[in-house]
């Protein structure tokens, strides 16, 4: 029986179409490879900016110093941008991505569970898009909004050089082929994957 000052909270059970997975841990090397591929497919042209700017004086007055400095500065830019993406694997805020987790996926959210009591919920509106690969799903999280970023040049810098964050769900962690079909259907209903 309830005490007078206590509120009744119904037990929240799992939805009937909940997909439960086996435990899985994303390897840091796999994350780095996928994230760097995404960054350099999108931002390859940024590496051309220092190269062109420093080669421009060599057009008017050729010197090997301009060529060497252009290549060196471009290489430093590429290394710094790559290190920034790889830094996600080293910072404490990124550590939940690389823990051994099981997932419960339903219409409302994706629960990333460390054990029965600890976990984190991702709502569907936090996911920007999904990619279905030959052996897995990639759920790309939305980047921070302008309101969440600092103001001024720091905000511009953070927005321009954001590292992509994603959740990888290999097909082998699903308990049955029916769960994979259900996941496909769910992603289509959420308009995250093409028909």
Provide the token pair at 143. Answer: 């980047």
Question: Which residue(s) pair with 138 in the sheet?
Answer: 131, 168
> pLDDT class for 1, splitting at 50, 70, 90?
very low
Q: Which helix (H) or strand (E) is 168 found in, with range?
A: strand 166-170
Please report, for the chain, the start and end positions of each structural domain, with discontinuous segments joined by +: 19-189
Select the more confidently predicted residue: 184 or 11.
Answer: 184
Tokens of 173: 């962690």
pLDDT of res. 6: 43
Residues 68-100 have pLDDT tens digits of 999 999 999 999 888 888 888 887 777 778 889
Closest by CA to 34, choosing from 163, 158, 162, is 163
pLDDT in the model for residue 12:
54
At 14, is the pLDDT very low, low, confident or very high (cuts 50, 70, 90)?
A: low
Q: What is the pTM of this model?
A: 0.76
């Amino acid at each position: 029986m309830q005490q007078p000052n206590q509120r009744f909270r119904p037990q929240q059970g799992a939805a009937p179409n909940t997909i439960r997975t086996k435990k899985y841990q994303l390897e840091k090397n796999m994350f780095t490879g996928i994230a760097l591929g995404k960054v350099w497919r999108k931002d390859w042209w940024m590496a051309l900016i220092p190269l062109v700017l420093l080669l421009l004086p060599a057009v008017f007055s050729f010197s090997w110093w301009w060529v060497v400095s252009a290549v060196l500065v471009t290489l430093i830019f590429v290394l710094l941008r790559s290190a920034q993406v790889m830094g996600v694997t080293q910072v404490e805020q990124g550590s939940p991505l690389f823990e051994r987790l099981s997932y419960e996926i339903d219409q409302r959210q994706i629960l990333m569970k460390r054990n029965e009591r600890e976990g984190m919920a991702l709502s569907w509106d936090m996911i920007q898009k999904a990619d279905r690969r030959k052996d897995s799903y990639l759920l790309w999280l939305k980047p921070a909004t302008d309101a969440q970023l600092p103001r001024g040049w720091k905000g511009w810098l953070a927005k321009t050089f954001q590292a992509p964050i994603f959740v990888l769900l290999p097909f082998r962690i699903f308990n049955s082929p029916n769960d994979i079909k259900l996941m496909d259907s769910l992603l289509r209903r959420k308009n995250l994957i093409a028909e």
